[in-house]
Amino acid sequence: MLNERRNLLTAEQFAEVILNHLTSSQGKDPEHASIYDWRMALSLALRDQVIRPWFASTRTTYEAEAKRVYYLSMEFLVGRLIEDVATNLRAEDVAAAAMRSLGQDYGQVVRDEPDAALGNGGLGRLAACFMDSLATLGIPAYGYGIRYEHGLFEQHFKDGQQIETAENWLTQRYAWEFERPEVRYEIGFGGTVEKSGQTSKWIPAETIIASAYDTPVVGWNGLWANTLRLWAAKPVKVFDLDSFNRGEYLAASELEALARTISRVLYPDDTSEAGKELRLKQEYFFTAASIKDILRRLDSEGRVVRDLPQRVAIQLNDTHPAIAGPELVRLLVDERKLEMENAIDIARGCLGYTNHTLLPEALERWPEPIFKRVLPRHLEIVREIESAHLKASGSPVRILEDGDVKMGELSFIMAHKVNGVSALHSDLVRETVFEQLNRDYPDRILNQTNGITPRRWLHNCNPDLRILINDTIGTGWPADLEQLEKLVPHAQDAGFLEAFKAVKAKNKVRVANWLKSHHYIAVDPDAMFDAQIKRIHEYKRQLMNLLETVALWNEIRDNPNADWVPRVKIFGGKAAPGYVVAKQIIHLINDVAAVINADPQVKGLLKIVYPENYNVSMAELLIPATNLSEQISTAGNEASGTGNMKFALNGAPTIGTLDGANVEIRERVGAENFFLFGLTAAEVVERRKQQNYSAAAIAVSQRLSRALEQIENGVFSPGDPDRYQGLVQDLRQKDYFLVTCDFDDYFAAQRRVDSAYADQDSWTRMAVLNTARVGWFSSDRTIADYAKDIWNAHSLIGGARQPKGEVP
Ligand code: Z16
C-alpha cells in the first residue's frame, strides 16, 4: 500500500526493496552481506524512490516551458547522502525500521558511506546547499561539475605534521549516480584557427570525451528533484590496437591515461590559484561540456538561440567556469553564424557571476601563452569581448593586461549580474577589485548573502534539537526557517532552557565518546567546547586562537586557584599541500596540544584537540556539540563564511570580528548575544599603512610577548627549539593579517565569554536566541533571492513552504 501523500512504502515493503537490491544489485544473500552491501542496498532502495519525482519534475519543466537554472561549479562538496535523501523523502523512520527488521544497525550503515568530497571548503559546500534548496523550492535546475576520480586529499598527522594521501571514493561503487554513456561530447584543446573570409573555425589538436554521470537531487518532502550532472574525461579512442600488436603495451593505453588525467583529481587549493595548464584544461573541459549540453537541450525543445536569455540562466560559481562566456560566444558565432556583438549580448543575458574572494592570490589570471596554447580561438574571442566592452562603455578596464587573461574582469564583463556573498563583501567588491567596472556598469553588482540548508545543518545533524523544536513550535521550520523566531519567547521559559541545554550536553557526550574511541583523547563533556573548524589559512587566524590558548595556559598556571571555566579548544581543518605557513600552523597546534594536554597543572581546565581529516561529516558531528563558534578572520578577508551560520543555528554563540556574514549574524541575533572584538575592515586598511604596527602591538602586550617568546624559544618543540622562529619572526616583522593587533582585544573577549558561560542559564538563553534568530540564513532564502534578482526563474511547485502534496 502506498502512502498517498508522500508516495512512501511501509517499512515492510521497503525492507523487501532493500532485500531485492541486496540480491539483485549486490549479488549477496543476507548471510554473506557486508556492511557495504547493506549500505548499497539501502541507498539503491532510497534512490528508487527518487525516480518518480525526478521524472515528474523533468516532465513538468518541459510542459511549462520553464526557464532552467544551470549552476556551474568546479566543486560540489556533497558529503554523505543517505540521511539527506531519506529525510527529504520523509522516509527516515521507514528506512530505519526496515533496516532494523533486517537485523542491521541503521546508524552504522549511514556512517559507512564515504563523503563525496568534491570540493575544498565553503565554495563547494555552498554549491551543495544550493542544490538542496533549488530542489526544495522546485526551481528547474542542473548542477554541472567534474566527477573527480579523487576528491579532496585525506589528512593524516605524523609527528604533528600534515601528511596527504589520495582520496579514493570511487573504489566502491557510487550508489547515487546514473552513468549516461549516451551523453558524451568531444572537447578540444590546442590546435589552430582556420580563417575563410569573415568566418573562423577552430581545429583542435587533441580531443577527449566528456561523459555524463547524473545524480538526482531530491528536495524537501520529495516534491521535486533536479540533476547534478558531473563530467568524467575519457579518451576518444580507448585502446590503440596497432601499438599493442607491435608489442608496445604501455603505449597502447597511453592515450586513455592521458585523457582521464583531466578529471583525475580535485585541486586542493582553497582561495589560492594553482595557475597550472591542467587546471585550465579542467575548467574548459567541464564548462564546454555543460554549454554543449545546454544548447543541445535548447535545440531538442525546438528553440532558437535568440531565446537563450529567456530560457537559460547560467550561474558561474567564482571565475572557475568563466570560459563559459567565450565558449558560448564561439558556438554562436562560429557554428551558428551570429554576429559577434549580438552573440556577446545573448551570452551576457544568460550569465551571472558570483565572486567569493578579494584575496589577490585567488583571482585567476592565465598567462596569455598558456591560454593561447590551450584555447587559441577563445583568446581571439576574449579580444573581441574586450573591444566590445571598451567601445560600449569607454572604460579603461582591460581583460588582457600585463600578459595575462584576467578571469575576474572577463566574468564581470560577460555577466549581466555580479554578486558578492555577504553585505560587507559585496560593498568591498564594489569599492575594491571592481571599483572601475562598477562605475562603468553601475547596476551590475548586487549582494546575495550566503545561506545553509537547514535540512542537513539542523534537522539531520542535530536530531535531539530537531525533536525539541518540533515539540515547541511545530514542524514547519525545515522548509521555512524563519519560523524559528517562534522560539524567541521560549528563551524565557526555564523548562525549555533546561531541555535545550540537555540537548547540547548529549551532543557533547556523543563527541567525547567519539574522541575517545576514534582519536584516543579524553575530554570532559562538561567543559566549554570551543571550536574553530575550517580550512587553515593565515587570514582565518588559527594562530591567534592558538596564541590565546597559550596565554590562557600561562594565566591558569599563574593563578591556579582562580575560578577558571574549563575549556576544550577544538581545531579542525586541512592546509593546501603547498601552503608552507599553513602547514607550520598545523604543526604548531599539534605541538602546543602535546605540551598543554600533558601538563597536570591545567588538567581538567584546558585541553586542545585536533582530530585529523576534518570533512563535512565531521562538521555534522562537531557543530551540534559546540558551545562557542570561532569566526576570527581579519576583517575584510572572509567573503562570507558559512560555518558561522551553522554554529549559530545549532546554538553556539560567536566570538568574532566584523567580517563577512558575521556582521549580518550579529545584527540578527543581537549584539548582546555575540562576542565582538577586533579592528573593522576600514581600520585594517589604515593600520596596514602604519610603520611597525606589529612590533608596537607586541610591545604593549605582556601576554602576547610571553606567548611568542615561548613559541620561538622551543617550549613547545623542545627537541627542535628553532622550529617556529620563522613563523614568529613573521609576526614580529610583517603580520599582514594583524594577529598581533587584534590579540589583546580577542583575549579580553574570551574572558567575557568565560564570565558569560559561568552563568549557565543566561548562556543557554543566548544560545537559544542564536538558534531562534538565524532562520534568515537558510539557503532557501538565498536561492529565492537569486531566482528573483538574477535568474528570473520560478518555482514549479505550489509553494515549497506549504507543500500542497502530490507532485504535479
Ligand atoms: C572558497 O571556499 C571560498 C572562496 C574562494 O575564492 C575559493 C574557495 Cl575554494 C569561500 C570563502 O572563503 C568563504 O568566505 C565563503 O563563505 C565561501 O567561499 C562561499 O561563498
Q: pLDDT tens, 289-325? A: 999 999 999 999 999 999 999 999 999 999 999 999 9
Query: Phi and psi dihedrals of 200, rounded to 5?
Result: -125, 150
More confident residue, 623 or 798: 623
What distance in Å separates the CA atoms of residue 741 and residue 739, rounded to the nearest whole number? 6
pLDDT at 82 (0 to 100): 98
Question: Is the pLDDT confidence value at 1 over 60?
Answer: no
Query: Phi and psi dihedrals of 189, rounded to 5?
Result: -140, 150
Residue 363 CA to ligand 1 center (angstroms) comes to 12
Closest-CA residue to 306 (of 339, 279, 281, 334): 339
Atom of ligand 1 nearest to the CA of 421: 20
pLDDT at 778 (0 to 100): 98
What does the pLDDT look like over 244-265, one tens digit per residue?
Answer: 889 888 887 888 888 899 999 9
What distance in Å separates the CA atoms of residue 594 and residue 585, rounded to the nearest whole number? 14
What does the pLDDT look like over 361-407, one tens digit per residue?
Answer: 888 999 999 999 999 999 999 999 999 999 999 999 999 999 999 99
Inter-residue contact 718 to 676 (CB < 8 Å): no
In a 13 Å sphere around the CA of 600, the CA atoms on its Cβ side amount to 0
Q: Percent of the chain, pLDDT > 90?
A: 93
Residue nearest to atom 18 of ligand 1 (CA): 123
Closest-CA residue to 632 (of 609, 655, 652): 655
Does residue 532 have its Cβ closer than 6 Å to ligand 1?
A: no
Residue 249 CA to ligand 1 center (angstroms) comes to 44
Among 71, 76, 77, 123, residue to substitute to test ligand 1 (most atoms within 8 Å of Cβ): 123
Residue nearest to atom 13 of ligand 1 (CA): 641
Closest-CA residue to 676 (of 661, 694, 697, 662): 662
Interior angle at CA 63, CA 57 and CA 67, nearest 5:
75
Residue 462 in 3-state DSSP? coil
Fold of 65-78+117-450+785-791: Rossmann fold (3.40.50)
Beta strands per DSSP E along 598-688: 606-609, 628-631, 654-656, 675-676
Does residue 422 have its Cβ closer than 6 Å to ligand 1?
A: no
Does residue 121 have its Cβ closer than 6 Å to ligand 1?
A: yes
Residue 585 CA to ligand 1 center (angstroms) comes to 20
Does residue 271 have its Cβ closer than 6 Å to ligand 1?
A: yes
pLDDT at 7 (0 to 100): 56
Residue nearest to atom 1 of ligand 1 (CA): 123
Cβ neighbours of residue 307 closer than 8 Å, sequence gap 6 or more: 298
Q: What is the domain partition of the chain in residue ranges?
A: 1-61+81-114, 65-78+117-450+785-791, 454-773
Inter-residue contact 104 to 38 (CB < 8 Å): yes
Residue 73 CA to ligand 1 center (angstroms) comes to 12
What does 483-518 look like in DSSP terms, one character per residue?
Answer: GGGGGGGGGG-HHHHHHHHHHHHHHHHHHHHHHHHH
Is the reported ipTM for this assembly greater than 0.90? yes
> How far is CA 446 from its chain centroid?
21
pLDDT at 807 (0 to 100): 37
Residue 265 CA to ligand 1 center (angstroms) comes to 19
Among 356, 407, 450, residue to substitute to test ligand 1 (most atoms within 8 Å of Cβ): 356
Give catalytic residues, as residue numbers.
356, 534-535, 540, 642, 646
Closest-CA residue to 187 (of 237, 144, 235, 239): 235
Inter-residue contact 353 to 319 (CB < 8 Å): yes
Atom of ligand 1 nearest to the CA of 119: 9
**Count of beta carbons in the 10 Å neighbourhood of residue 297:** 16
Q: How confident is the model at residue 803 (pLDDT cuts 50, 70, 90)?
A: very low
What distance in Å separates the CA atoms of residue 355 and residue 448, rounded to the nearest whole number? 10
pLDDT at 354 (0 to 100): 98
Residue nearest to atom 4 of ligand 1 (CA): 356
Does residue 145 have its Cβ closer than 6 Å to ligand 1?
A: no
What does the pLDDT look like over 702-723, one tens digit per residue?
Answer: 999 999 999 999 999 999 999 9
Q: Percent of the chain, pLDDT > 70?
A: 98
Inter-residue contact 790 to 352 (CB < 8 Å): yes
What does the pLDDT look like over 593-618, one tens digit per residue?
Answer: 999 999 999 999 999 999 999 999 99
Residue 231 in 3-state DSSP? strand
Question: Is the pLDDT confidence value at 800 over 50?
Answer: no
Does residue 450 have its Cβ closer than 6 Å to ligand 1?
A: yes
> How far is CA 598 from its chain centroid?
35
- What mean pLDDT is reported for the chain? 96
Question: How many residues belong to the chain?
Answer: 808
Residue 639 CA to ligand 1 center (angstroms) comes to 7
Question: Is the pLDDT confidence value at 26 over 60?
Answer: yes
Q: What is the mean pLDDT of the segment spanning 126-148?
A: 98
Q: Of all helices (H) and strands (E), which one includes residue 446?
A: strand 445-447
Residue 661 CA to ligand 1 center (angstroms) comes to 12
Residue nearest to atom 5 of ligand 1 (CA): 271
Q: How confident is the model at residue 243 (pLDDT cuts 50, 70, 90)?
A: confident
Does residue 426 have its Cβ closer than 6 Å to ligand 1?
A: no
Residue nearest to atom 7 of ligand 1 (CA): 271
Atom of ligand 1 nearest to the CA of 121: 2
Q: What is the mean pLDDT of the segment spanning 33-56?
A: 98
What distance in Å separates the CA atoms of residue 136 and residue 130, rounded to the nearest whole number? 10
For residue 118, list its beta bridge partners: 76
Residue 660 CA to ligand 1 center (angstroms) comes to 11
Does residue 641 have its Cβ closer than 6 Å to ligand 1?
A: yes
Indicate the class that CATH gives domain 454-773: alpha beta
- Do 65-78+117-450+785-791 and 454-773 agree at the fold level? yes
